[in-house]
Amino acid sequence: MKRQDIIETRASRVLATIAAVVRAVEEYNEDYEPDGIRVDFRLESLLGDNVMQVRVNPGSEHRLEYYEEELWHGRVEIIPDENAWGVTLTELFRRAPRIAWKLERGMFVRAASTTTSTGLEFMYIYLRDGRVVELEGEEYRVSIPSVGDLAAAIVHTHPAGSCGLSKADVRSGIDHLVEGGLFEAAVTERCMIYMARIGLVSEEDYLKVWGSSREIIGPLNLKTIEVGVLY
């Protein structure tokens, strides 16, 4: 039987919190400019509290009301505050994969090492409720299950080699972003390559990425999609 585990990690709680901030903004704004929204985001406080409060300054161009989401353990509260002054929402989108790599690198590297030695790939689905599902896939293949908008982020392993996303990775990943996910990533023993959204994915950027003829996609910077590599 293929291995399946559901656990709660520091990164899973933080990613669920970031996803809640984004959903709060998108709940009240059909379109928005992430550079115009400020988030008082303090990683250290999020790692220790069951009730995680995040103050958000939506700026004069956006609407925001009090918003909360229940987690597996605890809850997230998004509090509008015109005096909050932290990172922009653009920066928070960009930080999400970096936080996962920083906090979960050991877990990812161990799984990627197994992928290199046995060919078995693994997937980590970070859920909106603050948990992460670990799935064991097939030899050199792992299929993303249909998770709709339940996932905040999805990461899977690749064997040792180049840090790039395959065409299949990109096409499944961009659909995940459109459904509200923060990022999709592949990890090896030495790197993470991620595709993250910056605000709402534009139709122009979606078509550029979906229609790419390249078999392996490396770093890319579009207005609403960023592909980057972390070492």
3-state helix/strand/coil string of 184-227: EEEECCCCEEEEEECCCCCHHHHHHHHCCCCCEECCEECCCEEE
Torsion (CA) 112, 132, 196, 42 in degrees, nearest 10 = -110
Q: Tens-digit pLDDT profile for the chain (231 aa)?
A: 477 899 999 999 999 999 999 999 999 999 999 999 999 998 877 776 788 999 999 999 999 999 999 999 899 999 999 999 999 999 999 999 999 999 999 999 999 999 999 999 999 999 999 999 999 987 655 555 556 678 999 999 999 987 889 988 999 899 999 999 999 999 999 999 999 999 999 999 999 999 888 878 889 999 999 999 999
Domain residue ranges of the chain, discontinuous segments joined by + = 10-87, 92-230
